[in-house]
Structure formats: C-alpha cells, structure tokens
Amino acid sequence: MKSAIFDLDGVIVDTAKFHYLAWKEIAQKFNYKLTQVQNEKLKGISRKDSLSLLLKWSGNNLSNNEFNNLLADKNDLYLDQIKNLTKKDSLPGINKTLNYLKKAGIKIALGSASKNSKIVLKKLSLINFFDVIIDGNDVLNSKPNPEVFIKGAQALGVPCCDCIVFEDSIAGVKAAKAAMMDAIGICNLKQNLKPTIFNIKSFLAIEPNNLLKYFMKNE
C-alpha cells in the first residue's frame, strides 16, 4: 500500500485566497499591484521566497530589518484573515477522502510550506488524520525543492516512490516529481499543473474508493 502526502493551502482548505489578499496588501505598501497570474507563482513557496519574488518583480530592495518587518506584517494580515476558520471551511470532499484513506490503512502526511499549518489543521479539526506533519518549520528549501516531501516520506518510514502527493501548485507538483513521487493535481482544470496521475477540480470529483487503486502497490 502506498502512502498519501497532502499539501495544505489550496488542497485541504481555501487559504490560498487569504495568502493572496495578504500579499496584495503588502505589495500595495510599495505601490505594486500583484496580479492573480503572478500569485500562481507564489503558491506553494515559502513566505520568505514569496517576498523575495515580490521585491524582484517590483524592482525593490529592502534592508534585512525592513524585509523581516514585512514578513511579520504579512503573517499578521494572514492570521487575521484565518482567525474565524472552523471545521466547516475545509474544502468539499476532503473530510470524506481523509476518512476513507485512514480507514483503508493508508498512512497520511502533510507536506506544506506553511509555518501556520498546525494552527490551520487544528481550526479545521483535521489534525488527528495526520500521522506526520512536515511544514515550513521543518525545511530549509521551499518547493519546487523536494525536501518537504522527502522528509515526509522519511518520517512515515516509506520510500519516496511509494507516496502519492496531492497538490494545487506548480511548484508543488514539480517538488513531487523531483522527489520521485506521483502527484494528483487539485486545480481549476484550465490550469495546467502537469501532475503524473491526473488533475481534479475538487475531491468531490473522485469517489474515495476510486482513489484506492492508485494506492495499491504494483510489485
């Protein structure tokens, strides 16, 4: 049996929109208008790397102090956005899928760039589904670097090639491939995530028992 590694933002909960709103507000501080297209490139990558990209796009340079202050401001804005998150906010179909995989004996890990992952999972009452949580606090390199997924597999005690990743970002799908893992994309189907298995619009689009065949090992 293979194991499952879930990304968080945009896969389990629609927090991707809150990250976007917070980054837009930060960008406005230096009169820069962050577009939705650019925001796709921020998905899946760390807070620090996101700010570095934003500064590059807008042609700004900051001192270390200013940089760290903006990172803190971004997180304050984000935490304010998610303060009322409850278990009703998990994305459609995710609870049923996690339940089904758990009951089928599949090990489940989180592989997220977010340093807020535990706060979010607790708010959603989903934290107990996860055998392992690897997030932005545990890695040095953000997606598309495969570190977060490789550490997830190690912590689960399974080989990388026996993991299937659920991802909504280009950087995340690349990271899964670099870790030699299969990936299922969760995205607006116009977007081309190029996962190794398939894209679905949401977990409602696939019955959990139809997912099971991908978790059966072919030896």
Q: Which residues are catalytic?
A: 7, 9
Q: Which two tokens stand for residue 81?
A: 């956005």
108 binds, among ligand BG6, Mg ion, none (CB under 5 to 8 A by kind): none
At a CB cut-off of 8 Å and minimum separation 6, what does 117 contact? 8, 110, 133, 135, 136
Q: If binding is defined by CB under 5 A, does position 168 make contact with Mg ion?
A: yes
Work out whether 147 is an interface residue with Mg ion (CB under 5 A).
Answer: no
Closer to ligand BG6 by CB, 102 or 115: give it.
115
Residues that bind ligand BG6 (CB under 6 A): 8-9, 16, 19, 42-44, 46-47, 50, 75, 78, 112-116, 136, 169
Considering beta carbons, is residue 135 or 153 the nearer one to ligand BG6? Answer: 135
Q: Which residue is nearest to Mg ion (CB)?
A: 10
Least separation, in Å, of the C-beta of 36 and ligand BG6?
Answer: 13
Nearest approach, Cβ of 83 to ligand BG6 (angstroms)? Answer: 14
Provide the Cα torsion 170, 175, 178, 184; round to 10°. Answer: -70
Q: Does 135 bind Mg ion (CB under 5 A)?
A: no
Q: Interface with Mg ion by CB under 5 A: which residues? A: 7, 9-10, 168-169
